[in-house]
C-alpha cells in the first residue's frame, strides 16, 4: 500500500480588480512590514555558569554547546539572542561541545554581520579563533565531540560567533561577540 500525500492549498484571493483600478477596500489596506533585523540583546552583563573570567590572569573561558533543541544554536540562543563581551587584550578559550545527534557544527569569530546568507567564508578575526575544518560536514566538530579554540582578543570591536557549516548561520546559528576597550565583560541575553 502506497502512502498518500495530501497537499492543502489555501486561497488568498485578491489580485487586480477586473477593471484595472486599484482596490481601495479596507481589506486591501497595506500590511505593515515586519522587521527581520536581529535585535541586539541589552541589559546588564551577567556571568552565567558557562562563562568564567579571571581578571588577574586576563583570561575568559567559556563553553558553547551546539545542537540539541532547538537545532542550530549556541547555548540555546539563536539569531544573535546573546551578546558575549570580553575585554580587549584578554586570552579567550572557547570549548565547543557538539550535542547535535546527527550533524557537524563549527565555531569562529567573524567580522561578518547579520543578515547572513547561506555560505560564509571561514575567516577568523583573530589567530586561533576558529575550529578546524569549519565548513566541512564530515570533518567539522562531529556529534559528541568537543573542540577548543584559544585566541587573544587583540582588537576592540563588534564581531559575531558563527557556525561556518553551509546554511547554519542563515538558520540562526550565530551570536554577537564584542571586544570592549573599557574592560567590560559578561553576557547579555543569557
Residue 36 confidence (pLDDT): 54
Q: Which CATH number is associated with domain 43-190?
A: 2.60.40.420
- In three-state form (DSSP H/G/I as H, E/B as E, the rest C), the secondary structure along 47-73 is CCCCEEEECCCCEEEEEEEECCCCCCC
Please check the confidence at residue 33 and state whether its pLDDT lies above 50. no
pTM: 0.80
* Cβ contact 44:76 at 8 Å: no
Please check the confidence at residue 120 and state whether its pLDDT lies above 80. yes
Residue 188's DSSP bridge partners are 83
**Residue-wise pLDDT tens digits, 77-99:** 999 999 999 999 999 999 999 99
Residue 14 confidence (pLDDT): 37
**Residue-wise pLDDT tens digits, 141-181:** 999 999 999 999 999 999 999 999 999 999 899 999 999 99
Amino acid at each position: 500500500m502506497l502512502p498518500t500525500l495530501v497537499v492543502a492549498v489555501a486561497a488568498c484571493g485578491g489580485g487586480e480588480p477586473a477593471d484595472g483600478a486599484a482596490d481601495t477596500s479596507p481589506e486591501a489596506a497595506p500590511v505593515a512590514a515586519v522587521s527581520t533585523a536581529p535585535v541586539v540583546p541589552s541589559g546588564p552583563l551577567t556571568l552565567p555558569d558557562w562563562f568564567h573570567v579571571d581578571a588577574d590572569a586576563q583570561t575568559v573561558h567559556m563553553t558553547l554547546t551546539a545542537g540539541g533543541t532547538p537545532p542550530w544554536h549556541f547555548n540555546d540562543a539563536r539569531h544573535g539572542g546573546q551578546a558575549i563581551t570580553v575585554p580587549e587584550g584578554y586570552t579567550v578559550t572557547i570549548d565547543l561541545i557538539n550535542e547535535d545527534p546527527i550533524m557537524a557544527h563549527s565555531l569562529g569569530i567573524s567580522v561578518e554581520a547579520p543578515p547572513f546568507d547561506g555560505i560564509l567564508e571561514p575567516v577568523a578575526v583573530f589567530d586561533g579563533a576558529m575550529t578546524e575544518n569549519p565548513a566541512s560536514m564530515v570533518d567539522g566538530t562531529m556529534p559528541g565531540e568537543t573542540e577548543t579554540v584559544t585566541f587573544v582578543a587583540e582588537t576592540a570591536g563588534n564581531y559575531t560567533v558563527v557556525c561556518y557549516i553551509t546554511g547554519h548561520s542563515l538558520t540562526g546559528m550565530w551570536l554577537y561577540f564584542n571586544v570592549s576597550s573599557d574592560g567590560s565583560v559578561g553576557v547579555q541575553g543569557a
